[in-house]
Amino acid sequence: MSRSRPRIGALVALAASGALGLSMAAGTAQADPRPEDKNPTATGVGGAVSSVDPSATAAGMEVLRKGGNATDAAVATAAALGVSEPFSTGIGGGGFFMHYDADTGEIQTIDGREEAPSGITKDAFVDPETGELYPFSPERVTSGVAVGVPGTLATWETALDRWGSRSMAKALKPATQLARRGFVVDETFREQILDNEERFAAFGPSSELYLPGGDAPAVGSIFRNRDLAHTYSLIARQGTDAFYHGPLAEEIASTVQDPPVTEDTDLPVPPGSMTASDIADYEVRTPDPTVSDYRGHDVYGMEPPSSGGTTVGEILNILEQYDLGSMPEDQALHHYLEASALAYADREAYSGDSEFVDVPIEQLLSDGFAKERSCLLDPTRAADKPVAAGEPDGDYVESCDQAPDTPAGTSAQDDEGLSTTHLTVSDRWGNVVSYTSTIEQTGGSGMVVPDRGFLLNNELTDFTVDPEDTGPNSIAPGKRPRSSMAPTIVLKDGEPFLALGSPGGSTIITTVTQTLMNRIDLGMDMESAVAASRATQRNRSTVSAEPEFTAAYGDALAGYGHEFSAFPDIGALTGIEFLPDGSTKAVAEPVRRGGGDARVVDPR
């Protein structure tokens, strides 16, 4: 059998075409243009950075070249993404940071997820006028009520304190320069503004920044964010206290409570309750990573409130029951889709913020549970969806003959957006960072904090917003909404083998899993594994698939009973593979979202 080559070779060939001609306007000699060539793959030594954006990758590379370590470079890259990818991430949001320490071999995490304010009520998303839930868009997503207390700056500070060698001031420097000097606008940046035009136009500060003169900045023009440069400079001078205990806390709270809407907008923009003391009370958490063993690899993931680690781990544990590498490709993909549906049913039933609900992490990741769940996987036939959740109770069948019949499941439609960004960094000492951050939807809540140059998240829409809901992801003060973010580090024989992660809301989990399967089971090299077309089965009646996936495998998989719905661009993953000769291969998405940029300090 020919082992799976990605069927999107033509798209891979287009990767470089995401690059821009630099149509520099007069007087822009100082601007920091996005490098002309994006680089989806780089192999070498001395450290590596992979992100979705060349300016951000350049910021991290500058730090590595000047002797900074992986954490210093990760913070510099993330801060630059806050400038050049501001619709996916920034200090108005949150995320999950994972670190491998080359000295100790330890993997540790920081949970910088946004948190519900102390004044939130279960009916926060109910319109008091109608008694009904606000419609998802625009009310729920474009609101103060959806804004969670941001965790990103606290994440950077904790990471630098624990593992960094630079001050926050130094780590913020390249991003501050980028914000001040500007960068060349590409199509993705312009399109993301246009996609949010109505929402940004509803707020004075957002339209001033992103719709100057009533339009999104033109492709090829220079975009500067001086307010954000000032904000970063303030934090460089005064530390994160300026944000959590200083003027920024007051300003964020008043933006949330009294959204800066323009007079002529029709958007209702429900206010939220967040106060400056909610912001002052924010603390990151540092949970243990999840770990699951997959065909001799140790796969480390993120604990709750992310469902990333448990769900990626459960899918892999189910797949481990089968020898995917010896199957025809369509059969391996059928197993991947069915295992995903089973794990998403369990995610829905059991995942939430483990400081508020008892998430059976150990059982969800146990081989006994995976074995029991795999009894429901018919190797020849797709199950009717939704499938029901299992019982991760420690009491599992020895053989599938004893497996109980399960009732039909219920599917919860998640409203997670498709935003977010992932960066992966390594350094010359062998430390590794895998960091996913977000402001939830592309454009977050749509609200830029006046004169501060950054957007606030709308992460609280990730709660199950129905006030009657009593499940693990229901709303509560101080609680963090369930996430799908899945920063991942894979060790083999105790040494780093892969680090990776992806944007994409609830598709993040399947993107990471499919890429691991491509690399570990299906014989692809890392760049092919990242470029390959994707499909995601999140326990829904249809498989969401990229058109290239359906074109390549749709007929064969229809034979198993799978039905497809079209889904453009699932995930824009970044990762690093650690090669046996000691070099690293940094890989970024070649096409999706305009393509990313991967670099190494000393290319070979």
Minimum CB distance to ligand GLU, residue 512 (Å): 12
Which residues have CB under 8 Å from 123's CB, separation 6+?
Answer: 467
Are 321 and 305 contacting, i.e. CB atoms less than 8 angstroms apart? no
Which residues have CB under 8 Å from 248's CB, separation 6+?
Answer: 231, 234, 242, 449, 452
Select the span of 4-12, 22-30, 137-145, 503-511 touching ligand GLU (CB under 6 A). Answer: 503-511
Chosen residue from 151, 453, 504, 571 binding ligand GLU by CB under 6 A: 504
Question: Can you tell me which residue has the tokens 């497809």?
Answer: 564
CB closer to ligand GLU out of 329 and 469: 469
By CB under 6 A, what part of segment 291-310 binds ligand GLU?
Answer: none
DSSP 134: P
Dihedral (Cα; 321, 323, 327, 333), 10-degree rounding: 50
Q: What is the DSSP string of 453-516?
A: --BPP-GGGGSB--TT--STTB--TT----B----EEEEETTEEEEEEE--SGGGHHHHHHHHH
Chosen residue from 54, 505, 571, 590 binding ligand GLU by CB under 6 A: 505
For residue 148, state whether it binds ligand GLU (rule: CB under 6 A).
no
Which residues have CB under 8 Å from 525's CB, separation 6+?
Answer: 519
Chosen residue from 142, 311, 438, 544 binding ligand GLU by CB under 6 A: 438
Which one, of 528, 540, 538, lies nearest residue 575 by Cα? 528
For residue 363, state whether it binds ligand GLU (rule: CB under 6 A).
no
For residue 62, state whether it binds ligand GLU (rule: CB under 6 A).
no
Minimum CB distance to ligand GLU, residue 268 (Å): 22
Are 465 and 133 contacting, i.e. CB atoms less than 8 angstroms apart? yes
Structure token pair of residue 601: 């300090």
Which residues have CB under 8 Å from 402's CB, separation 6+?
Answer: none
Select the span of 244-252, 448-456, 498-506, 587-595 touching ligand GLU (CB under 6 A). Answer: 498-506
CB closer to ligand GLU out of 414 and 527: 414
For residue 446, state whether it binds ligand GLU (rule: CB under 6 A).
no
Which one, of 475, 477, 476, 438, lies nearest residue 457 by Cα? 438
Minimum CB distance to ligand GLU, residue 399 (Å): 36
Which one, of 327, 301, 306, lies nearest residue 499 by Cα? 301
Chosen residue from 112, 144, 417, 496 binding ligand GLU by CB under 6 A: 417
For residue 150, state whether it binds ligand GLU (rule: CB under 6 A).
no
Select the span of 179-187, 313-321, 329-337, 416-424 touching ligand GLU (CB under 6 A). Answer: 416-424
Chosen residue from 255, 317, 483, 574 binding ligand GLU by CB under 6 A: 483
The residue from 188, 231, 310, 420 that is catalytic is: 420
Select the span of 75-83, 291-299, 328-336, 417-425 touching ligand GLU (CB under 6 A). Answer: 417-425
CB closer to ligand GLU out of 440 and 597: 440
Is 121 labeled as catalytic in the residue annotation? no
Radius of gyration, alpha carbons of the chain: 23
Residues that bind ligand GLU (CB under 6 A): 416-420, 438, 440, 459, 462, 483-485, 503-505
Catalytic amino acids?
420
